[in-house]
Amino acid sequence: MKKQLAFVMAGVMAASMMLTACGGSSSSSEAAGSTAESTGSAAEGEAQGAWAPSKSIDWFCASSPGGGSDIFSRMITDIMTKEGVTSETFLVTNKTDGGGEVVKAQVSETKAGKQADHTLMTFNVGELQPMLLNTDRRIEDFTPIAVMALDKQLLFAGPKSPYQDFQSVIDAIESGKSVNVSGSKGDDEAVYAALLAEMGWTEDQLVYVRHDATSDAITTALGGHSELVIGKPAATSSYVAEGVEASKKLTPVLAFSTERFTGALGEAPILSEVDPNHKDVELPTWRGVCGPKDMSPEAAQFWSDALKKVSETEQWKTEYLEKNQLIGAYMDLEETKEYMTQAQVDYLASIGKAE
Amino acid sequence: MFKKITSKQMTPICTALVAVVFIYLGLTKYGFWGGVKGPLPGFVPTIVAVGLLIMSVLALLQSFKEERGNFPALNWMAAAGALGVILATFVIGMIPSIAIYVILWLKLFEKASWKNTLIVWCIIMAIVVGVFVLWLAIPFPNGMIGDMIMG
Amino acid sequence: MENMQLLFGGFETVFTLQNVSACLLGAVLGLIVGAMPGIGSLAGVALLLPLTYKFDATTAIIMLGSLYYSNMYGGSFSAILLNIPGDSPAIMTSLDGYPMATTRGRPGQALFTANIASFTGGTIGILILTFTGPALADLGLNFGPTEMTALLLVAMTSIGWLVGENPTKGVVLTLFGILMASIGMDTVTGSPRYDFGILQLMGGIPFIPFVIGAVGFAQVIKLMEDRNKVTEGAVTQKLTIRGSLLTRHEVRRLLPPAFRSGVMGTFVGVLPGAGATTGAFLGYAMQKTFKSEEPLGTGAVEGIAACEAANNAAAAGAFAPLLALGIPGSGTGAVLLGGLMMWGLEPGPMLFTNHSDFAWGLIASLYLANLLTLAIALCIIPFLIRILSVPVKYMIPCIVTVCIVGSYSTSNSMYGVIVMFVSGILGYLLDKNGYSTAPMLLAFVLAPLLEKNMRRAFTTSQGDPSVFVDFANHPISAVLMLIFFVIICVPIVKLIIRKVKGSKNTTPAA
């Protein structure tokens, strides 16, 4: 019996391994055994093209399927496959435990080696801020690889709101009233905080009602349960377009930018236009990619170049940027590191956690 | 009144302890009421925990009238099996662990015939591998050994 | 009857060979995925989304619609046959479905009831959606945080009907469930609470593994001791379609709750963030106030019908805000929205105007999907119920495996499996000590919604509690609060009257 059992066990092991290999399942990327293959510094100077993926790539996304980060991850891996950046497969894995902190820990701590060079993760401002707020992990614990796109917000008035332009909001608050603004968590709230700082208001004068997603915040505003709503163009522009029924229309009242948007959103003035005594409030949010801290420079360079290629494709421009009304802003390794580090410094300062 | 403490008493005692922890943290760490801000993160948990504490005490008083429950050791075998799979997953990965578990369970514990064991085994593996692994592409963990082989 | 005309236009779009087969394929796949515990409709639709890329836009949308829809059917299968709810709305189905399938030995009828009720509820939902169209969504807009708070308070009181014979224990577990749900990120301030410094707890206790454990895994542990006994009343019926048919009398018992729940469920589906789980739960609670031939919870036809109809109606109702406003009512809706956007459609207030052929095509495909799913589901019932004739000792490793694999799949992590394991042991211990876990699970779903809305309402009102009863500005909320107080006060007043009257002769039971 033992013999038979051993035989069956061996068979199962073999079968499941074959299946995992050809069936497109994946290897979990918990600190893989380090085969000190690509960690060597031999090829450092002439890194470009020296390294190429040699196994399937684990691409992690800290939010659920269907959300903004997920679409971003899948769009990039799709283009990379189509463009023939590598013939290896990309395995996009959504891991949301611990509000996404678990997967950030896992990626950042992946030990140097083959696995580290084949691990990437979607990293947005919405990933960075909660991490800084709630954990001791910092951007230095990752290898920043690229920033791919920038996004800016606008302030809208709901259809039932008594304030249909920003001047009337200022007047109301100055006359002692309090105004509600609904919005999503994370970066939208950061813009709200920046607006408060610029206007010199308190949280009780302009009250932020936090929602789980911009769509929830819009529902609240359309129903007249909040007066204003903060959102990005992709989520809001369909409520501004020509021909929308008056009861479902949002009016853009302020653009969080240094210049006006185009199209219907261009209606919204920037802050310096409303009141020349104030500076424009702009806090662009970004979508980017990071790797483990221990990723080899060669691999980082490879991925940086691959993402540059993606950012230049027609598919990226029309099917991602244009459709979601984002601003294409590819940054290389150096720029990305600088940009993300600066974002960290700014955010830590804003929450009084400066280091 | 002073019978031996059994699981009947342990349950309300445990929920009462949970309640005390939640009240303590709610009041000291997370905040209760913030003026114009309304309720703070600790508000609802603290109120609910106070309710739980009171109800747990009531349940404790009631529990002395109840008979003690019995927990046949056999029942824990199912839990032990699952625990075995969980622990083995960290070493050899989830799919092999399940494959081995099903065979060992049926053969050694239930003393089933080879024929029945294999039929059940095939059905389980067909569902797990066919649906979850191949079709839905769920990335099951490979465990330490699997990662070493996969590099 | 402009809507009818547009709907017929929609039917014309749908009835091509390609579209009907896409719909059929979607229905089959959705059923299978829905029946897998842990996958649920959200992950199911997300995982199957890439399949639709191979088709043209209309076909793809039709397939997505039927996928989404049939997923709701599948969830009840494992709930009824294995007592493992496939998704959260199915918790309610398992309360009556599992006893009906096992102790009453009528699994075929239980599945049949669930499917007919789903069909009825779904049809009502789609009909309401057809005739009111975008107007239905406007109704949902009237429910802001204040109104939702009041509504959820009313909903919470109905947990009282579920606590079973020992109210003290029922309340203990309800409150315990609320505390468990409060672990993790506080959505109103975005800061973690009660995470005890554990990284995983920061994201809270995942619901699906919690349910799989507390209901399904606990069940396996319990099954161990009498696994070799021949279960009383084990499958007595014939394992054929004929043997699974309901009697005329049973159909008559099924329809009234299905109609009531269908209408109610549709409106719950329209409300922001309420979803199918709340729908199923309210449907069941509502049935408690009506007469059922057998007591609910012992395998009553009415119980299965009430929650299954509500859950499918809610799934249809959720399409109203999705199509009319571009606002997804649930996580699954959000994935569906992502799917629509990939096809170049811009869901939003303009969808019915700009892409009316598409919107009505989707609604028409819901009719078709509803019908097809029913047909498929009925055909596979005879095969499904064979599961129950498998000896329990062979089922145990199967269920353990499904629990582990399913709970892993919800978040692709071992944390889910550990949550499942711990809550399984907890569920077993609680059950042995006479605590029923249903109130805990429902409190776990509803309490966070209530807390979130209540705190948003307070933020908006600057900490002023009077908004909830402010007739001038929040009439809906005020009326609901009134209902809430009546529900709370009536039993207390009744109790006092009974005490005063009864103190002379008998002492009232505790």
Question: Tens-digit pLDDT profile for chain C (510 aa)?
Answer: 577 777 787 787 778 888 888 888 888 888 877 777 666 666 667 666 666 666 777 787 778 778 877 877 777 888 888 887 767 788 888 888 888 888 887 888 888 899 899 999 999 998 888 888 667 777 778 888 888 888 888 877 767 766 666 778 888 888 999 899 888 877 777 778 888 878 778 878 888 888 888 888 888 888 887 666 655 444 555 556 666 777 888 888 888 999 999 999 988 888 776 677 778 888 887 887 787 788 877 888 898 999 899 988 988 888 888 777 777 766 667 777 767 766 666 666 777 777 777 778 778 888 888 888 888 888 888 777 777 777 778 888 888 888 898 888 877 888 889 999 999 999 998 888 888 888 888 888 888 888 888 888 888 888 788 888 877 788 888 888 888 888 788 878 888 888 787 765 554 443
Beta bridge partners of A147: A288, A331
Q: Give the pLDDT confidence score for residue C88 in this predicted structure.
A: 74
Inside any domain, residue B36: yes
Same domain, B145 and B77: yes
Contacts of C383 (CB under 8 A, 6+ apart): none
The closest CB to that of C225, out of B74, B79, B141, belongs to: B74
Fold type of domain A2-151+285-350: D-Maltodextrin-Binding Protein; domain 2 (3.40.190)
A12 pLDDT more than 50: no
The size of the A-B interface in CB pairs under 8 A is 79
Inside any domain, residue C510: no
Of B44, B63, B82, the domain-final residue: B63
Q: What is the CATH number of domain A154-274?
A: 3.40.190.10
Distance between CA atoms of residues C251 and C291, nearest Å: 15
To the nearest whole angstrom, how far is the Cα of C190 from the nearest Cα of chain B? Answer: 10
Nearest to A118 by CA among A215, A190, A195, A51: A51
Nearest to A240 by CA among A232, A248, A230, A250: A250
* Contacts A24 to B, Cβ<8 Å: 134, 137
Domain range for C52: 2-498
CB contact under 8 A, B37 and C434: no
Same domain, B120 and B77: yes
Same domain, B10 and B53: yes
Distance between CA atoms of residues A179 and A226, nearest Å: 8
Per residue, the 3-state secondary structure of A157-222, as one string, reads ECCCCCCCCHHHHHHHHHCCCCEEEEECCCHHHHHHHHHHHHHCCCCCCEEEEECCCHHHHHHHHH
| Tokens linked to A210 | 């936090």
Same domain, B43 and B90: no
Q: Find the closest chain A residue to B137 by CA distance.
A: A25
User: Most B CBs within 10 Å: which of A3, A25, A57, A59, as the mutation test of the B interface?
Assistant: A25
In chain A, CATH 3.40.190.10 covers: 154-274
Interface residue C263 vs chain B (CB under 8 A): no
Interface residue B81 vs chain A (CB under 8 A): no
Same domain, B85 and B111: yes
Domain range for B138: 73-150
Using CA atoms, how far residue C100 sits from C106, C171, C227, in Å, is 6, 26, 19
Same domain, B50 and B79: no
Contact call for residues C405 and B86 (beta carbons, < 8 A): no
CB contact under 8 A, A19 and B134: yes
* Contacts A243 to C, Cβ<8 Å: 350, 353
Same domain, B111 and B133: yes
ipTM surpasses cut 0.85? yes
Same domain, B58 and B79: no
Nearest to C219 by CA among B10, B78, B15, B81: B78
* Contacts A55 to B, Cβ<8 Å: 150-151
pTM greater than 0.80 (yes/no): no
Of B39, B63, B87, the domain-final residue: B63
Same domain, B102 and B136: yes
Indicate the DSSP class of residue C413.
S
Neighbours of chain A (3+ CB pairs under 8 A): B, C
Nearest to A151 by CA among A267, A65, A72: A72
Of B12, B40, B63, the domain-final residue: B63
Inside any domain, residue C505: no
Nearest to A226 by CA among C460, C449, C147: C460
The closest CB to that of B41, out of C178, C189, C428, belongs to: C189
* Contacts A134 to C, Cβ<8 Å: 191-192, 202
To the nearest whole angstrom, how far is the Cα of C462 from the nearest Cα of chain B? Answer: 4
Inside any domain, residue B68: no
Distance between CA atoms of residues A303 and C48, nearest Å: 29
Sign of the CA dihedral with C189 first, then A345, A333, and A191 last: positive
φ and ψ at residue A263, rounded to 5 degrees: 70, -150
Same domain, B77 and B106: yes
User: Most A CBs within 10 Å: which of C39, C151, C350, C420, as the mutation test of the A interface?
Assistant: C350
Q: Find the closest chain C residue to B99 by CA distance.
A: C401
How many separate domains does chain C show? Answer: 1
* Contacts A12 to B, Cβ<8 Å: 96, 99-100, 125
Same domain, B79 and B40: no
CB contact under 8 A, C414 and B56: no
Q: Give the pLDDT confidence score for residue C347 in this predicted structure.
A: 66
Strands lying side by side in the sheet with A285-292: A90-94, A57-61, A119-124, A285-292, A142-151, A327-331
Using CA atoms, how far residue C320 sits from B52, C4, C324, in Å, is 39, 16, 6
